[in-house]
A and B are shown apart, each in its own frame.
Chain A
Amino acid sequence: MAAGYNWLLVLSSVFLCNLVKTFLPSISSFLSKVLQKDAEQEMEMRTEIQNMRLELSTISMMDEFARYARLERKINKMTDKLKTHVKSRTAQQAKMKWIVNIVFYILQAALMISLIWKYYADPVTVVPSKWISPLERLVAFPSGVAGGVGITCWLVVCNKVVAIGLHANSLQLWRCADV
């Protein structure tokens, strides 16, 4: 009975891979948020800068020039520090994105290779060979069973169909979000 559902197993694996691929940016941003430790510090710095700017707007430059200049220098210093922080955070995010992508592609490749390895000799499903007559060898590759649908052919077909389906779905979601 389980042998009859090979096509479904391959299809679900491909679907899962494509689904995870769609959510890769969200996953990487979530992971970078989780792993980021100095987010609070950055927030504090931002609020502090805002407070100091407010204070600066209340000071008259003519009357209290020394105080004004001191505060302005402080704001500049803090802004520079914040910029360095943001820069390092962006670099970290890019690094995280890169690592997540690499890990995903390695896992996907491992999954595909293992599927091909498993169903190298067995077709995922069998139909009468006459139905697919001119291309039966191509469709059956690499199993070589007459009328069988080989793993490579099925993987390609599933990938294409799932990509089209997910694309149409994302398009609909995007339209809904627009409305």
Chain B
Amino acid sequence: MEPGEETSGRSAAQRRAESRRRRLLQNSEQRMNRIVGFNKSDSDSSEARRAMEPRFHLDLDRNESWSPPVSTKRLSPYVSEAGGSSATPCETPERRGSPLPDSREDMGEDDVSRGVRQRPRGELSGDEHSRSPRRGLQKYLSRFDDAMKLRGQLGSEKAAQDSSTDPEELDSFRLFRLTGSVLLAVFVRIFVCQYLSIFAPFLTLELAYMGLYKYFPKVEKKMKTTVLTAALLLSGIPAEVINHSMDTYRKMGDVFADLCVYFFTFIMCHELILLFGSESS
């Protein structure tokens, strides 16, 4: 019976080894998940955590629509399979069959937390690592295309400016503004300035212009592509925002022009009155 016992003992050892090997092979995915640092509970918590993580790669990408950060995308290809299984790392057969169950059970949570700790928040998994350079390249190429288009546009506009001497149109509203400023300056010099600061009527006039603006035919102003607008466009600022800013800038320029004309006319009137007054006296 000794050889039988021996064979049975050997076979039992072999069987144990074989079964251990099989268990290991069966749970290879879960083991891998543990190594990578992912489990189901982690996947639930990671959603909230991902929302707090900075998404620079998404924010910078203006051409692509924002896609919600899905935690299953985040990690390795094993994630989807791990998400499907309901077993926690503590309940795995591997754990159950481990030679040091207590320590392993303690390590179960520890492993998870260690797995999380092993990967810092900002760090990307291998999949994202491979995806973000591609996205970066696409972004770079789109920006490069934009830059080339703007360069062409700038060049053509400059050539057009050089070749044609067509000055910018003075629209009716602008003419009205300038005339109003001149007339107001004369009126203020003759009647008002003894009682009031000269800037008070001017501000009233500007308010009136703001109200009267809608009654004048709107002139479609040609948007000039300057180096500034090109730089703003390339830096990722939307075109509408740039248009709004340029519109505000233009309005400020108009008000400044009105103020200059008003002040100039006022001083001229003042000097002329002084001159004629001194001559007559």
Question: Interface of A with B (CB < 8 Å)?
Answer: 4, 7-8, 125, 127, 130-135, 149, 154, 156-158, 160-161, 164, 167-168, 170-171, 174
Contacts and interface: CB of A to CB of B under 8 A. Distances in A.
A133 B270 contact: no
Contact of A164 (B166, B198, B257): B257
B193 A131 contact: yes
A170 B167 contact: yes
B167 A171 contact: yes
A174 B166 contact: yes
Contact of B270 (A8, A125, A168): A125
Given A7-B267, A127-B267, A164 B261 contact: yes
B197 interface: yes
24 contacts: A4-B271, A4-B274, A7-B271, A8-B271, A125-B267, A125-B270, A125-B271, A127-B267, A127-B270, A130-B197, A132-B198, A133-B199, A157-B260, A157-B263, A157-B267, A160-B256, A160-B260, A161-B261, A161-B264, A164-B257, A164-B260, A167-B167, A168-B170, A174-B165
Nearest to B198: A131
A4 B267 CA distance: 12
What 3 A-B pairs are tightest by C-beta distance, nearest first?
A: A160-B260, A133-B197, A161-B264
B169 interface: yes
A174 B199 contact: no
A7 B270 CA distance: 12
Nearest to A162: B264
Interface of B: 165-170, 178, 193, 197-199, 256-257, 260-261, 263-264, 267, 270-271, 274
Dominant secondary structure of chain B at its interface with chain A: helix
A132 B167 contact: no
Given A127-B270, A131-B198, A132-B198, A157 B264 contact: yes
Given A8-B271, A156-B260, A174-B165, 12 more contacts: A4-B274, A127-B270, A130-B197, A132-B197, A157-B263, A160-B261, A161-B261, A167-B168, A170-B167, A171-B170, A174-B166, A174-B167
Nearest to A149: B267
B203 to A, nearest CB: 10
A99 B259 CA distance: 35
Contacts of A168: 170
Nearest to A166: B167
B197 A131 contact: yes
A156 B24 CA distance: 85
Nearest to B278: A4
B9 to A, nearest CB: 101
Contacts of A154: 267
Contacts of B199: 132-135
A168 B168 CA distance: 9
- A125, A127, A154, A170: most-surrounded residue (chain B CB, <10 A): A127
A125 B199 CA distance: 18
- A132, A154, A167, A170: most-surrounded residue (chain B CB, <10 A): A132
Contacts of A164: 178, 257, 260-261
- A132, A149, A160: most-surrounded residue (chain B CB, <10 A): A160
A161 B167 CA distance: 17
Contacts of B178: 164
B198 to A, nearest CB: 5
